Amino acid sequence: MCGRYVIYSDSEYEELQNIVSDTEKNLSCKSGEIYPTDKAPVIINNRLTSLNWGFYTYDSMLIINARSETVDSKPMFKTAFVKRRCLIPANSYFEWKKEHDTKIKYEIGLTKKSLFFMAGLYSVFSDKKNNRYIGFVIITTQANDNLSHIHTRMPVIIEPGYQKTWLDNTTNDSSILKNILKPYNSNMTTFKISS
């Protein structure tokens, strides 16, 4: 599960604009801790844009994650998996570990809190007030060995070298795409935040 993440500051947006070939005009995104339904930066087809975090179900339930194991078969995600893949930039994400009667918040990221890219999907929805919007979800997978003591799941962090393949919507071989959706191999730094 990935229920919140962080993109630190405007310097990250400047770095992102150097990575992509096009940026949405008047891009407005939140910096700091990103919550479900927030407007956040997303890369689609080598273009930096801003989308709302979350898909709405027919009964107006908000879905923020998709499981890598079933992303190609669940009706809500199947078409987006083939045609609408995206990257979600982040410096870290948060997870909560239950210890006795409390939950401890951990911030998890790469060393030096470097920018990384989570695998995502996007689609068009209507919110509770029937306003149309484009939303995204973060794909999760099993936690790697050094994070599994905190939580059983983690976001899929795309390994360098596979980002273009993930974004390329002409790539429709599900075995190639599913092979990208693995637990991140490199060690990640964890910081205990609070109870």
Catalytic residues: 2, 95
Task: Specify the length of the chain in residues.
Answer: 195
Which tokens go with 164? 């273009």
